[in-house]
Amino acid sequence: MDLKRMQHVLALADERNFRQAAERVHLTQPAFSRSIQAAEEEWGMKLFDRGGRGGVVCTAAGMHVVDRIRRVVNDWRALERDVVLYRDQEIGDLAMGIGPYAAATLLGPLLLDLRMRHPGVRLRVQVTNPAVLIQCVAREEHEFFFGDVRYARDDPALQVTPISGHVGGFYVRTGHPLLSARPLLTADIGAFGLVTSRLPEPVHVILCKLMDCTPEEGPPIAVECDDVHLLKTLTLGTDSVMIGTPNLVRAEVQAGTLHALAPRDLPEVRTSLGVVSLRGRTLSPVAAYAVEFLSQMANEDGEAA
């Protein structure tokens, strides 16, 4: 029995009158009567007694069926309501990952926007290095990852959408000895220790070559951490050298507390920001909204940098 016919049975049980029940479901009385008769024939039992002093009343079988139908119809209406709410991003769940550099500048505005516009959506956000988060996408723990996409380009199961990129560089505190070094080479930086999040393999290779270390040794990283605020704190308070991008340290550079180094042998090295999701999967409405929001902010951030 389809949902429409179940609603006809429910209308007759409530109205106890064929004419009134037919009007309620916007049918002519003959058409409505045929629908009720078809329901009884389909289930092979009489659902209603007609013509008594109380009008149309449910049989014992009818009462049992009507009780079940009422639950089905109520569930269906709830489903219709929830689908609309989900489509309009009023309810739902969003699990996503974001790299530490992207999180430092983009995550706060995104979460603020989502909580203000879509308070019924439950959010779960993991901030860590891209190598970990891309595996979370592959295991379907996250709908998408936003950050450096270079870790995902060789995986055919993943859809990679590049967004933007920033030029990477070295940053030190005011008064750092390297600020007076002329000429400055990348190899000169290693003695002070690098503080950084996990480096993508291409950056790792470039630094090893310029700092004259083997891939097994790796560049002289003193602290590897996914907390950008902590990396800046270490850089401001010690002679450590931070690897970062202009958008991450814009406020400190403008305030004169951090300064960019310019080794003459350092080629332009850019981040590769983008979105990683499972290939062939459609993002939920709220995930699609979040991706659009982050992409727009990243592009604006790149233009400002």
Q: What is the pLDDT of residues 229-272, one digit of tens each?
A: 999 999 999 999 999 999 999 999 999 999 999 999 999 988 88
Task: Judge if 155 and 175 occupy the same domain.
Answer: no
* pLDDT on residue 165: 85
Task: Judge if 75 and 152 occupy the same domain.
Answer: no
Task: Judge if 247 and 198 occupy the same domain.
Answer: yes
Helix (H, G, I), strand (E, B) or coil at 292: helix
Task: Judge if 221 and 276 occupy the same domain.
Answer: no
Task: Judge if 98 and 222 occupy the same domain.
Answer: no
Number of domains, the chain: 3
Separation CA 181–CA 190 (nearest Å): 14
Task: Judge if 129 and 149 occupy the same domain.
Answer: yes
Average pLDDT for 87-97: 82
Q: Tell me, what amino acid is at 57?
A: V
Average confidence score pLDDT of the chain? 90
Backbone angles phi, psi at 189, to 5 degrees: -75, -30
Separation CA 73–CA 64 (nearest Å): 15
* pLDDT on residue 93: 86
- What tokens does 10 get? 């429910």
Q: pLDDT tens digits, residue range 185-239?
A: 999 999 999 999 998 888 999 999 999 999 888 999 999 999 999 999 999 999 9
Picking from 87, 114, 139, the residue at the C-terminal end of a domain is 87
33-54: string of b/e by CB count within 10 Å (b at 16+)? bebbeebbeeeeeebbeeeeee
Task: Judge if 174 and 242 occupy the same domain.
Answer: yes
Picking from 63, 87, 111, the residue at the C-terminal end of a domain is 87
Q: Answer yes or no: are the C-beta atoms of 206 and 267 closer than 8 Å.
A: yes
Average pLDDT for 67-84: 81
Task: Judge if 147 and 201 occupy the same domain.
Answer: no
Q: What is the DSSP letter of 212?
A: T
Question: Can you name the residues that pair with 55 across neighbouring β-strands?
Answer: 52
Average pLDDT for 49-75: 87
Separation CA 261–CA 192 (nearest Å): 13
What is the C-alpha end-to-end distance of the chain, expressed in Å? Answer: 63
Task: Judge if 105 and 157 occupy the same domain.
Answer: yes
**Is residue 267 one of the residues assigned to a domain?**
no
Separation CA 235–CA 262 (nearest Å): 17
Residue 128: which domain range? 92-164+272-304
Task: Judge if 232 and 288 occupy the same domain.
Answer: no
Average pLDDT for 16-38: 93
Task: Judge if 19 and 51 occupy the same domain.
Answer: yes
- What tokens does 95 get? 């699990």
Separation CA 286–CA 92 (nearest Å): 8
Separation CA 289–CA 276 (nearest Å): 15
Cβ within 8 Å of residue 165, ≥6 positions away? 270, 271, 272, 273, 302
